Amino acid sequence: MKLLTIKQASEWASQYLNKQVSESNISYLIQYGKIKKHKDNGSTSVDIDDLKNYYQSYNGFREIAWKEKLGADLNWTLSFDNFRESDTTKHVHRLHPYKGKFIPQLVEYFLDNHIDDFKKTTFFKPGDIVLDPFAGSGTTLVQANELGIYSIGIDISRFNSLITEVKLIDYDFTLLKEEIEKIKKSIFDFEANNKIFSFEKELNQKIFEINNKYFPIKKSENDNLGKIKEKEILSFYDNLIKKYDIKLSQEKNKTFLDKWYINNVREEIDFAFNEIKKIKDKSIKKILKYIYEKIKEVATKKMLV
C-alpha cells in the first residue's frame, strides 16, 4: 500500500487523468466515502490503489465524461452520484411518487450552513423564511422544516398541496390511530350489513370446490375444461348475484369509479369517504383523505393490469 497526502494525491490524479484535480476534489472523495481515509504521521492520506480503482470505476468515468462535456469546473458534488434511491427518497419523500421533484439532498446543499469551493457562503439560517412558488410535492418545505427554517409553498395543483401538507403537519398519532380504528370498525360493520362478506365467502368457496373437482386434469378433458368450469362458475355466480342483490351496473356512469366499480363496492368507497369527512380534527382528516386517495389509486392500477 502506497499512501499519498491529499496534495500528492491531487498531483498524481492530475497527471493520471491528464487534467487538473484539486485538493478539494480529493477531499470530496474522502468525505463521501469514494476512497478510504488513512492517517499517516497525523496527516490525512489516501491509498494510490484506491484512487486508481475509483477513477477506473463506472462512477469515476462518468464524472470524467461529464466534465469533458460541460467543463472541468463542473461541481460533481451536486450530481449526488453516490446516493442510492433509498437515500434520495428518505422518510416522507417516499410518501407519493412525483416525477417533477428534485432530491432532498440538493435542497439541503443550498439551505444548510456548510460551505465548500462551490458554495462559498451560506444563504439561510434557522428562523429565516424560504418561499417556493412551485412547491410541487413539498421537498423544499420539508427540508427547510428539518433545518429549522420557516417555509411558504405555492402550487397550482390542489393534490400537490395536499401531499405537501400531509408531509408537514404535526400529527397527534394517538388520535390518528383512534380515528383509523373507528373507520375500520365502521367499514367492517358496513360490509357485514351489506352482505359483501357472505357473498365473497360463498363465491370463493364455490370456485375452490370446482377447481378441486377437476384436479388433476385428465388429458381427455384438457381441451374443454375451461369451458366446463366457466359454465359451472357463471351459473352459480348468477344465482349468487340475485341472492345478495348485487348490482353489476350503476345508475350513474360519469366518473372512473362509476364505470369500473360495481355498485356495492362504490357504495363502500363513498361510505369510507363520508366517514373521513365526519372527523373534526383537520390534520387527521387530511392525512386520512390522502390515504384514501392512495388506496383508490392502487386499487385502480391493479384493475387495469
CATH class given for the domain over 85-168: alpha beta
DSSP annotation string for 65-91: HHHHHH-TT--GGGG-TT--HHHHT-G
Instruction: Work out the pLDDT band at 264, boundaries 50, 70, 90.
Output: confident
Instruction: Work out the pLDDT band at 104, boundaries 50, 70, 90.
Output: very high
Q: What is the pLDDT of residues 44-97, one digit of tens each?
A: 899 999 988 888 775 567 777 788 888 888 888 788 876 766 778 888 887 777
Q: Is 121 helix (H, G, I), strand (E, B) or coil?
A: coil
Q: What is the pLDDT of residues 131-181, one digit of tens each?
A: 999 999 999 999 999 999 999 999 999 888 888 988 888 888 889 889 989
Distances (CA, A) of 305 to 20, 90, 292: 52, 28, 20
Determine the pLDDT at residue 31: 77
Q: What is the pLDDT of residues 3-40, one digit of tens each?
A: 999 999 999 988 888 878 888 888 878 877 788 888 87
pLDDT at residue 130 tops 90: yes
Task: Look up cell 403537519; give the residue.
Answer: 169
- Long-range CB pairs of 50-59 (<8 Å, 24+ gap) are 51/4, 51/9, 51/12, 51/13, 51/16, 52/16, 54/29, 55/13, 55/16, 55/17, 59/34
Q: Is 131 helix (H, G, I), strand (E, B) or coil?
A: strand
Instruction: Work out the pLDDT band at 111, boundaries 50, 70, 90.
Output: very high
Task: Output the average pLDDT for the chain.
Answer: 82
> Helix axis angle, 6-17 relative to 23-31, nearest 10°?
110
pLDDT at residue 298 tops 60: no
Parse the chain into domains and list their residue ranges: 3-79, 85-168, 173-304
Determine the pLDDT at residue 63: 78
Distances (CA, A) of 43 to 119, 187, 270: 26, 66, 67
Instruction: Work out the pLDDT band at 303, boundaries 50, 70, 90.
Output: very low
Instruction: Work out the pLDDT band at 305, boundaries 50, 70, 90.
Output: very low
Cell output for 41: 504521521
pLDDT at residue 304 tops 60: no
Contact by Cβ (8 Å): 283, 170: yes
Antiparallel, parallel or unpaired: β 38-40 and 129-132: unpaired
